[in-house]
Structure 1
Amino acid sequence: MSTESEAGIYARESEYLECYVQVGYASGRVLSVSFPDLPDEDAEEELELLDRIQAYLERSEDDFNDVNVALTMATDQREVLEAVRGVPYGSQVGVEKLAALAPALDPEEPEDIQLVRTALSENPAPLLVPDHRVRDGPSAAPPEVEQRLRSLEGL
């Protein structure tokens, strides 16, 4: 059985999402979350985080804020995604509000709004970095997964 200290790809099928939830994990950090129809050939099923995700998808409230996600991108994009992590379960914000929450961004500046949209679309860990809580922004999750996550949280 794998533990959180082992690097690898982990996946588990979700009946609710009608796909797999696949997590890339290394050095105690989540590198990626994806939603393939079939998992990678070498993906393992046993990961405590997948247990939590499964419980969340069965309507157990979880914000995943304690999960260490590797946000290896430009600082301004990372700040946008960190701001998204602060949006509580069952709540939503707009792109302009998210820009206002991110340090050094101005919601009145079109370039900053575009930066927010780019950060959301390039989010490496949708669900854990809940871009589905941004009502008028793109999500890095497939549209059907984004809609199911929004429905799950009553958004």
Structure 2
Amino acid sequence: MPPIVTSAEIERPAAEVFAYATDPARFSEWQKGVVDGHMDGPPDGSQTPAVGAKCVTTRRIGGASRPSTSELTHIDPPRTWGVQGTDGPIRAAVEVLVEPLSGSRSRLTISVDFTGHGIGKILVPLMVRREARKEMPDNVAALKQKIEAG
């Protein structure tokens, strides 16, 4: 199956859009179900996210808080960022692309795909992809509203 892709044009410079969209501490502001998120430092110990850094996101699923870990697979600010899930039955691969349209306007494209492990092999095609297809446009619209409001 192809990834689920959602785009929006946002009245903000690319660097602002990139910084907001790729900050796990802000995911709960615009992603349904996310209650917490943070980056565990990159392997070199610096504060700047680098390939190999761990992104930990906690979501409310079925009445419980469930953390999941992804690894930063690539980063090229303020243009591209990607993570790949490393644990749990449902592992997401997320790609963020920010394209400057002018000095103050950008196009944000978020692509997500899922692989299932164990019970996840059943859940991904039955529920996860369908829910993500419904949620992604709302999530990106919420991101657009939050960042444009300042």
Larger RCO (alpha carbons 8 Å, 6+ apart): 2
TM-score by length of 1: 0.28
- Normalized per residue, the structure richer in helix is 1
